[in-house]
A = this chain, B = another copy of it.
Amino acid sequence: MQTRIVLVEPKYEGNIGSVARVMKNFGFTDLFLVNPPELGNDARIWASHASDVISCCKIFKSLDDALKGSNIVVGTTSKTGKEAVRTPIISPKELREKIEGKEGIVSILFGREDVGLYNRELARCDIVVRIPTSHEYPVMNVSHAVTIILYELRDVESKNLKIAGRNDIDLLLDHYRRLFDEISYPTHKKEKTLTMLRRIFGRAGLTEKEVRTLRGILRKTEWRINKK
Question: What's the tally of chain A residues with a CB closer than 8 Å to chain B?
Answer: 28
In whole Å, how far is A170's beta carbon from the nearest beta carbon of chain B?
A: 34
| Beta-carbon contacts under 8 Å, A139-185 to B | 139-141, 143-144, 147-148, 151, 154-155
CA distance A141 to B25 in the complex (A): 9
Q: A132-B154, A134-B26 are in contact. Are A48 and B141 (CB under 8 A)?
A: yes
Enumerate chain B residues within 8 angstroms of A133, measured Cβ to Cβ.
25-26
- A154 to chain B: closest residue by CB: B132
Contact assessment for B147 and A24 in the assembled complex, using a CB-CB cutoff below 8 Å: no
In whole Å, how far is A157's beta carbon from the nearest beta carbon of chain B?
A: 15
State whether the Cβ of A212 lies closer than 8 Å to any Cβ in chain B. Answer: no
The interface bits of chain A over 45-57 (1 if a CB of B lies within 8 angstroms of the residue's CB, else 0) are 0101110000000
| Residue of A21, A25, A140, A155 ringed by the most chain B CB atoms within 10 A | A25
Enumerate chain B residues within 8 angstroms of A139, measured Cβ to Cβ.
25, 48-49
Contact assessment for A136 and B21 in the assembled complex, using a CB-CB cutoff below 8 Å: no
* Interface residue from B18, B27, B148 paired with A136 (Cβ < 8 Å): B27
CA distance A138 to B133 in the complex (A): 25
Enumerate chain B residues within 8 angstroms of A151, measured Cβ to Cβ.
131, 148, 151
Contact assessment for B24 and A144 in the assembled complex, using a CB-CB cutoff below 8 Å: no
State whether the Cβ of A34 lies closer than 8 Å to any Cβ in chain B. Answer: no
Q: 9 A-B residue contacts at CB 8 Å?
A: A18-B144, A22-B144, A24-B137, A25-B134, A49-B139, A132-B155, A143-B144, A147-B148, A148-B151
Taking beta carbons and an 8 Å cutoff, which residues of A are in contact with B?
A: 18, 21-22, 24-27, 46, 48-50, 131-134, 136-141, 143-144, 147-148, 151, 154-155
